Structure 1
């Protein structure tokens, strides 16, 4: 399986510097990186940070989490088919919500080939101290990027006094008590911290998560081969789920249908669409603690 890291954070926080540092760290570990860079404009000036010889896909004019989600899926499929790599690094735009970015990346078509290590969020420590000057919408997204991180970098630590750095670190830990927090300058983080995080739930990950397995925001792939349900049974199951299940998408085997149906769930609403080719009966679930939620059952 290929490890995947999503790099999150506001424009100017240090994401591209982190990307360059992570590429160097992975190469030192003997691992081959590949990169997807997402930018809202027509030109991606940051792509020069990726050295020649590293597989690179660029997504322009669209956020990875909304209009670009299908493009993201196509880019990942292209990388998997065309390139030999060990770790995929995805630099999201400053406008990407982490849950939606994770949703765009984790498709049921190739979920069994990817191990989502987690979201690495670069938090600009100076910006944090001035967050009350942001517009409400901007501040809300800033807080969401921090709250859903698996590894949180308190970046530009060299620009703060010791007292300010302590205050920022304490406040960020209070906002996201599940994340590993590292104080950084120039987004330099040891590989050992990157390797500790884990956001893909596995069948054996049903015990309480420890420091090495942060499954507060995680992805779970469920295979429904040799099972079938009615739509009513799935809808009943959805109504029983906790609010911490944010997204689901995949292909569900429905009784009476020769081919699994496309199923999507977001914000409490479900969507069903018929498929005309036989897709693998797999469902991706994204949320907090999804490794422990019960799966749907069927009556004979």
Structure 2
């Protein structure tokens, strides 16, 4: 992050520390605005706080890039869900995930628990680019082994080799102009997301039927809907692991939903939502 801040860019940083004290923020220049989220993980405990921080940054409007340094135990899918919350999805470009790999420890990951290794590999699989750091501290043979193992875990994901975390905005391609991103969905090597905004209230039963018929490839759905039998009430609706959850919220928000899943047929889902809207 310190290397990125050397560029003449308007950058804001959100630091996430699982403990009760944010140590890393102290290494950032006082000229840079740092938002600290401590005592939890932005992918679960602090997910809503992250949404609030991003919304505040967006409304202030004096920023080109937002860098979120998540705690090492954060699951990237949950982070992606938070960054595409319906409250903020229209303020930002789709997020890009950079995985940072410690070259000195990667080959020894088998020493950790099965759950930890699984999380590490998920973090790599869901990255748009993997930064292999500390390559000056390993042999050429070890680096070759790392490349080979990454090829088995996530062969299609580009890597960037560095020392002391030295990178640049240009090399990391934060402008996303060359990536396969449209205004409706984001490719994460099989993971896609799409947004849909209703123009008004919809039929409650038809919406429930739509939810219950969602394919298993849909991992998350979150958003705000209004029903025709209660047109003045806005419901916050969430769907995860096949289970829906919803309730009335006491505020006016756009009737937007975000759907995230694996190999989504976005055109088919959009057609279904159009039918909901106009039936």
TM category, shorter: 0.7 to 0.9
Using a 3 Å threshold, how does the CA distance of structure 1 residues 174 and 194 change in structure 2: closer, same or farther? Answer: farther
Contact map agreement 2:15 2:68 (CA 8 A) in 1? yes
Aligned residues: 270
Q: Which residue of 2 aligns with 1:13?
A: none
Give CA-to-partner distance per residue, 1:31-52, whole Å, 9 cap, x none: 2000100001121111023212
Matches within 5 A, 1:5-16: none
Show structure 2 runs of 5+ residues with no match.
Answer: none
CA contact (8 A) 1:201 1:218 kept: no
CA contact (8 A) 1:155 1:187 kept: yes
CA 1:199–1:218: 2 relative to 1, 3 Å = farther
Is the CA contact 2:220–2:241 (under 8 Å) kept in the aligned structure 1?
Answer: yes
CA deviations 1:165-218 (Å, max 9, x no partner) are 122113213312342222222222342333347586414x6xxx9xxx656334
Q: Are 2:174 and 1:192 aligned?
A: no
1:93-132 per-position Cα deviation (integer Å, ceiling 9, x unaligned): 0111111112223221121011123110101123221111
The answer to whether the aligner puts 1:233 opposite 2:214 as a matched pair is: no
1:251 alignment partner, one of 219, 224, 228: 224
The 3 A distance-change label for structure 1 pair 50 and 245 is farther
Question: In structure 2, the residue corresponding to 1:65 is in which secondary structure?
Answer: coil
Question: Structure 1's 235 and 181: CA in aligned 2 closer, same or farther, altered over 3 A?
Answer: farther
Which of 231-240 and 149-158 deviates more?
231-240
Q: Describe the shift of the 1:267–1:214 C-alpha distance in structure 2 as closer, same or farther (beyond 3 A).
A: closer
Query: Mean alpha-carbon deviation: is it higher for 172-181 or for 93-102?
Result: 172-181
User: Do the aligned partners of residues 62 and 43 (structure 1) sit closer, same or farther apart at CA in structure 2, a change above 3 Å counting?
Assistant: same
The answer (yes or no) to whether the contact 1:219–1:287 under 8 Å persists in 2 is yes
Distance in 1, Cα, partners of 2:87 & 2:155: 33
Q: Distance in 2 between matches of 1:35 and 1:201?
A: 25
Residue 253 of structure 2 corresponds to residue 274 of structure 1: no
Quick one: which of 18, 22, 35 aligns to 2:4? 22
Of structures 1 and 2, the one scoring higher in RCO (CA 8 A, sep 6+) is 1
Please, what TM-score do these two structures have when normalized by structure 1? 0.80
Contact kept, 8 Å, 2:14 with 2:69, in 1: the verdict is yes
Unaligned regions of 5+ residues in structure 1, if any? 1-18
User: Aligned equivalents of 1:214 and 1:135: distance in 2?
Assistant: 26
**Alignment-derived partner of residue 151 in structure 1:** 129
| Aligned counterpart in structure 1 of residue 64 of structure 2, from 65, 86, 91 | 86
Aligned partners of 2:126 and 2:188 also within 8 Å:
no
Cα displacement string for residues 110-169 of structure 1 (whole angstroms, at most 9, x for unaligned residues): 210111231101011232211111111211111111111111112222222223212211
